[in-house]
Amino acid sequence: MRVRKGLARRVRRGPTLLLPEVPQRLLETVRLFAPEARQEEGVVVAGSALLEGPFEVTSRLARLAELPEGWAVAYVGEGPDGLVAGLARRLGGLWFQNGRPVAYRDDEDQTVTVYLPRRPDPERLTSLVENTTYTATPDTDLYSGGLVSLLVQKVHEHHVTCDLHSADAHRLGHTALAIAREFGGVALDGDGYRITAPEDLKPVPRQRGRASEH
């Protein structure tokens, strides 16, 4: 199989998603990032982002694009880095860009954002967060002192954000989802993917495949 040098350059430049096999739930997963995502002739269109592939990782493509060993397929993205970064975390893959792997963010130091239709009642919100102290300013509400800290601020005419921070990923996810349910909001992880369970904040272990020999 002949590999176009243009493809190798694109894969090397990235952002590129490397996977051990073609995923069965790619579009379903992308829709957690962009609910309107659709598939069009080998390209996933996700709002302002695109994901093209799969491309078979042959030994020649791996050599020309300087890819690490052990990956079977590649997808090339355009647009926000969060699309590829989130897929790598959720599908057990690798985010590759500019000739080198990109490290995951620190799983012990995460932030989740809950988008809410209005500023939440402090008493109700405090009841959802253990051992927290509430401090108000004209533009923000700060909840601190517990294992999860929160900053609530109005960032748009039609919604406010609640940014949650914690070193405990499971507690962070549980608290974010509780707030989203209580106040009619949507919880997104640091890559911009909707979370539906606390486990969504833990990356799937990488499981490398094997590149084709041709």
pLDDT in tens, 22-75: 999 999 999 999 999 999 888 999 988 999 999 999 999 999 999 998 999 999
Residue 190, pLDDT score: 92
Strands 110-116 and 100-101: unpaired
pLDDT in tens, 109-162: 789 999 999 999 999 998 898 878 889 888 889 998 778 899 998 776 778 999
Distance CA 175, CA 168 (A): 11
Question: What is the chain's alpha carbon radius of gyration, rounded to the nearest angstrom?
Answer: 20
* Percent of the chain with pLDDT strictly greater than 70: 90
Distance CA 62, CA 29 (A): 26
Structural domains of the chain, with CATH: 5-101 (no CATH), 110-189 (3.30.310.50)
Residue 108, pLDDT score: 63
Q: Both tokens of residue 180?
A: 């989203």
